[in-house]
Amino acid sequence: MIYTVTLNPSIDYVMAVPDYISGATNRAQTTNAYPGGKGINVSRILEANHINNQAWGFLGGYTGAFIATTLQHLAIKTDFTPIQGTTRINVKLKSRQETEINALGPQITDAEWQTFKQQFSQLQPADTVVFSGSLPSTLPHDAYQQLIQLVVSKQANFIIDTTGDDLKQALALHPLLVKPNRDEVQALFELTDISLNSLKIAGQRLIAGGAQQAIISLGGDGALLFANNHVYFAEPIAGDLQNSVGAGDSMIGGFLAQWTIEEDPVTAFKLGVASATATAFSEDIATQKKIRSVLDHVHITEIG
């Protein structure tokens, strides 16, 4: 079974304001609310690819109820820990540029945190847990490390999409996949340049640090996969960018969906790139139809 963990879910409130002017009263052309948070997006892509999974995390208040109901309509299985606080709303402003304002998130009490951790006792060695996204500020700073220890103690697999120290510490515990983007890898290794050569060395450091596979995503410039002692490049696919929110999560969801069927990192990367690109070319997280339509356009070459 696959479990996705979103410790800080959100309603993503997407406002299209084509001629947005800072400091003025602007009127939105369209507004839409989606269930958001990185793990939830991964669950939605797994579901689009017909891979059984369950979404975990914390939900509370009217916003939490909206997310729970919407996920139910989307047939996503969930087992969220209820909280007294209110799940956050993140604003995504679509204008000439995309601007995101992500809220801090609700208070999580110690009792709620302990209840959540108990869920990990049901893990089996064949399970995979996907951790992604920010922590609500009231959780312990080492929350991810605590949870990863619980996964490892059950001999289950994990994927982690986070940054900084959490990512560094997780590497030694052999995540199935890590997927920093170019900025995150630059910050992690304090790279002074982001040339292809420099990114290749950074990716190899992620593997040397313990990751089983690593992807460095490059937004509209494609993506790099480090696996089987080789480096692979997915060329960027041209198209109409609608929304880059969730593209990285879709890459993880697509990779894991295919990996579940056949443990081949290059084929998994292909579905990851197709899912990510399909989301970038959609208003919301991509549908299976959109992913299939992009799949034939994915070209991967071995570059090292």
Ligand X SMILES: O=P(O)(O)OC[C@@]1(O)O[C@H](CO)[C@@H](O)[C@@H]1O
Ligand Y SMILES: Nc1ncnc2c1ncn2[C@@H]1O[C@H](COP(=O)(O)OP(=O)(O)OP(=O)(O)O)[C@@H](O)[C@H]1O
Told to judge if 19 belongs to the known catalytic residues of this protein, a careful annotator would answer no
157 binds ligand Y per the rule CB under 6 A? no
Among candidates 295, 261, 259, which has minimal Cα distance to 275? 295
Least distance from ligand X to the Cβ atom of residue 148, Å: 17
294, two tokens: 């992009």
Determine phi and psi for 9, rounding to 5 degrees: -65, 175
Check residue 245 for interaction with ligand X (CB under 6 A): yes
Query: How far apart are alpha carbons 4 and 113 in whole angstroms?
Result: 16
Q: Where are the beta strands (DSSP E) in the chain?
A: 2-6, 10-16, 30-36, 53-59, 77-78, 81-82, 88-94, 98-101, 128-132, 157-161, 177-178, 214-217, 223-227, 230-234, 300-302
Considering only 180, 209, 246, 253, the residue that binds ligand X (CB under 6 A) is: 246
Cβ of residue 244: shortest distance to ligand X, in angstroms?
9
| Contact flags string 12-31 toward ligand Y, x per CB under 6 A | --------------------
45 binds, among ligand Y, ligand X, none (CB under 5 to 8 A by kind): none
Nearer to ligand Y, 8 or 277 (CB): 277
Quick one: what does residue 273 bind among ligand X, ligand Y, none, with the CB cut-off 5 to 8 Å set by partner type? ligand Y
Angle between helices 143-153 and 110-118 (to 10 degrees): 20
Site residues for ligand Y, 101-140, by CB under 6 A, read none
Among residues 54, 99, 168, 219, the one that binds ligand Y under rule CB under 6 A: 219
- Residue 244 touching ligand Y (CB under 6 A): yes
Q: List the catalytic residues.
A: 249
